[in-house]
Amino acid sequence: MERFVEVDGVRLWVAESGRADGSPLLLVMGANASAVVWPEEFVARLGEQHRVVRYDHRDTGRSTWAFDRRPYAVADLARDAVAVLDGLGVGRAHVVGMSMGGTLVQLLLIDCPDRLLSATVFATAVLEGAGPHGAPPPFVDIDPRLLALWEHLGDPRDREEEIAFRVRHWQLLNGEEVPFDADEFRRLEERVIAHAGRCDNPAAHARAGQGGLARGAALSASTTPTLVVEAPADPINPPPAAARITAAIPGAQQVTIAGMGHAIGSPVLAPLAEAILTHTAQVDGRNND
């Protein structure tokens, strides 16, 4: 089922799938990426156990593209996630966040714990201010090849040039420990472009304000069951990024997906889904006792 949810004059495209009687699970994607970036096989596997909800961030996919007229901060996108739950009448949900989505999930842990059944984050960094000495600023260990590529993120390109740029981006994000299938990610980006009906990239989230993110110290009060997935080949948030998050959130559990980078390609899709489902099943089991 597809629909739009309105928040602050912005329309967010939302899709539901999976078990209508399953506990809700909200997928929160990373920066400048629409809901279509979640692999269909991955969504289907989660849907065997859950009512899966995914949505297009502002300035992606079929949601409103208006950053140049109405700029916002990254932290505002966390409120969008809550608006999606409100729009669907979902009181509490398991929430899974990748990359920037993991940042947003950490904000939800702080501001909206009553809306979360559980949290899962991966390929992300802990909010600044966490831990006794404070977390390091983001992107301190990033692959310099990515930094060079990001300088051209919003450059004008035709469709074929844009697809080639995005596939190269995914190749770097994938890391070097698991095989990279360029055709797989080309098909992904063709779906992304068809879904959005456009191939340009405004890089809005890269330009969004960074205020309100240095709140890591507040994670120490979290009581939400949290899973942190370590991606050992992540070129943006390499180890010990996951360990820093785990240490910041009381009771958080950590698992490692061997060879995983900053992408959900075929080699890591199944183990990632199983790690999430094991976590959510444990939480649902305790809630149903």
* Candidates 56, 76, 143, 234; catalytic one: 234
Question: Taking the domains of the chain in order of start, what are their residue ranges?
Answer: 2-141+204-288
Q: Which pLDDT belongs to residue 181?
A: 98
Rounded to whole angstroms, the Cα distance separating 60 from 55 reads: 10
Q: Which pLDDT belongs to residue 136?
A: 63
Task: Look up the pTM and report it.
Answer: 0.96
Contacts of 145 by beta carbon, 8 Å cutoff, 6+ apart: 172, 235
Alpha helices per DSSP H over 36-174: 40-47, 76-87, 100-111, 144-150, 159-174
Q: Which pLDDT belongs to residue 142?
A: 87
Decide if 99 is catalytic: yes
* Candidates 50, 94, 262, 279; catalytic one: 262
197 three-class SS = coil
Q: Which pLDDT belongs to residue 8?
A: 86
Burial of 233 (0-12, 13-18, 19+ CB in 10 A): buried
Amino acid at 105: V
Decide if 234 is catalytic: yes
Q: Which pLDDT belongs to residue 173?
A: 98
pLDDT tens digits for the chain (289 residues)? 999 999 988 999 999 999 999 999 999 999 999 999 999 999 999 999 999 999 999 999 999 999 999 999 999 999 999 999 999 999 999 999 999 999 999 999 999 999 999 999 999 999 998 876 666 666 667 889 999 999 998 899 999 999 999 999 999 999 999 999 999 999 999 999 999 999 998 799 999 999 999 999 999 999 999 999 999 999 999 999 999 999 999 999 999 999 999 999 999 999 999 999 999 999 999 988 7
* Candidates 99, 118, 205, 222; catalytic one: 99
Place domain 2-141+204-288 in its CATH homologous superfamily. Answer: Alpha/Beta hydrolase fold, catalytic domain (3.40.50.1820)
Q: Which pLDDT belongs to residue 31?
A: 96
For residue 44, the number of C-alpha atoms closer than 13 Å in the C-beta half-sphere is 4
